[in-house]
Amino acid sequence: LGKSMKDHLRFAACYWHNMCWDGADVFGQGTFGRPWLQPGEPMQRAMEKADAAFDFFHKLSIPYYCFHDVDVAPEGHSIKEYTENFARMTDVLEAKQEETGLKLLWGTANLFSNPRYAAGGATNPNPEVFSYAATQVMQAMNATKRLGGENYVLWGGREGYETILNTDLRQEREQLGRFMQMVVEHKHKIGFTGTLLIEPKPQEPTKHQYDYDSATVYGFLKQFGIEEEFKMNIEANHATLAGHSFHHEIATAISLGIFGSIDANRGDAQNGWDTDQFPTAVDELSLVMYEILKSGGFQTGGLNFDCKLRRQSSSPADLFHGHIGGMDHMALALKKAAAILQNDFLAEKVAQRYAAWSLPLGQSIMSGKESLASLAKLASTNNFNPQHVSGEQELLENKVNRILFG
Ligand code: GLO
Ligand code: NI
Ligand code: NI
Ligand code: NI
């Protein structure tokens, strides 16, 4: 593909799980006890956190990182405080990027943690919340541009609903559609040249999330005429929550021309929620990398480890083990994918399977002039009695597994 293997591995570590999460879950308190997460003067803690973050990213030798606005800067108690804190911390991040050579894969805004977003950001019934959300996204886009971010991400957060009894679906969809159009308008206004990415997720935190999966999001973008403006950031554990595999979601996005980037974690079949485990499922990841390689590799996107430690694993050393394992497994998957591609028997089989569509009969049928009636006539005049096309699934699975597991 005219790139070295390493160029495909555009790894990123995230600010939120590594620096902001203390191990708390719905059943128990935090277990990590990081110094910058203890009570204290907020800006002081944010500075300590930034020192620790860049020290960690740099020691990992990871090329990229990602953040939310409120991961890096204290929210404050007003828009004024929020804006000042974020501006100050953007300066700090800029200096740290220069110092370490670290680059920003993407920035984003958190429109889900603060209680004001309990009923969503862009889909909130309260226009004040909608405007607050707009403020945060504008600031986060501006900061991302300033820091040379290669993408800007929008995860639906709490854009969804709990019960239909109090929800106007049409109103909420219109709000979300208009919000996304304004994101596009702002991108062009400030001349941000990175890619806008939507990250689909079903099931949580609200019961019915609007950005359910790639196909749903594509339909939504089409409705608002912005399907050319966004690509997808696909996460393994979100795919499995939607009842899909990671590679299905990626292949779907690629086939729609909207694939952008991945949040690389692990989605076990029995997971009822997003556990953000480090990616270690080599067979699944190999198919993921196979699809990505086949489509030409990442453009502006990359592999962000949206992953957290288990809450029993509190030692900073575990953070290294998690990320190193994630990088090793993704690299292994890339090698396996390249091996599948090398003698691309899969592409060959797929081409064979659909070959009849390039023969004169197939071409005449797909000319655009066909109708159900013309095809019925064709079939009965020629007395068609077709045989089924062989799928050879077992053969292909065996061949792929021999490459994966030797
Ligand atoms: C939650 C999402 C979340 C996003 C992040 C960036 O399940 O995976 O972590 O990736 O907010 O938009
Ligand atoms: Ni997630
Ligand atoms: Ni994610
Ligand atoms: Ni996550």
Triad 242, 226, 305: Cα angle to 5°: 45
* Catalytic-residue membership of 238: no
List pLDDT tens digits, range 126-156.
999 999 999 999 999 999 999 999 999 999 9
pLDDT at 65 over 60: yes
Q: What is the percent of the chain where pLDDT is above 70?
A: 100
Q: What is the percent of the chain where pLDDT is above 90?
A: 94
Whether the predicted interface score ipTM is above 0.90: yes
pTM (predicted TM-score): 0.96
In angstroms, what is the span from residue 152 Cα to ligand 1's centroid?
12
pLDDT at 398 over 60: yes
Confidence at residue 274, expressed as pLDDT on a 0 to 100 scale:
94
Residue to mutate (ligand 1; options 199, 262, 266; most atoms within 8 A of CB): 199
List pLDDT tens digits, range 8-58.
999 999 999 999 999 999 999 999 989 999 999 999 999 999 999 999 999
Confidence at residue 78, expressed as pLDDT on a 0 to 100 scale:
97
Average pLDDT score over the chain: 96
**Cα–Cα distance between 89 and 97 in angstroms, integer?**
12
How many alpha carbons lie under 13 Å from residue 255 in its C-beta half-sphere?
8
* Pocket (CB within 6 angstroms of ligand 1): 108, 153, 155, 199, 201, 235, 263, 274, 306
List pLDDT tens digits, range 328-344.
999 999 999 999 999 88
CA distances from 355 to 351, 362, 363 (A): 6, 9, 11
pLDDT at 1 over 90: no
Residue to mutate (ligand 1; options 232, 235, 277; most atoms within 8 A of CB): 235
Who's near 380: CB < 8 A, 6+ residues apart?
A: none
* Catalytic-residue membership of 71: yes
Confidence at residue 354, expressed as pLDDT on a 0 to 100 scale:
96
SS3 label, residue 197? strand
Q: What is the pLDDT averaged over residues 176-203? A: 98
In angstroms, what is the span from residue 385 Cα to ligand 1's centroid?
52
List pLDDT tens digits, range 236-256.
999 999 999 999 999 999 999
The active-site residue out of 17, 69, 71, 274 is 71
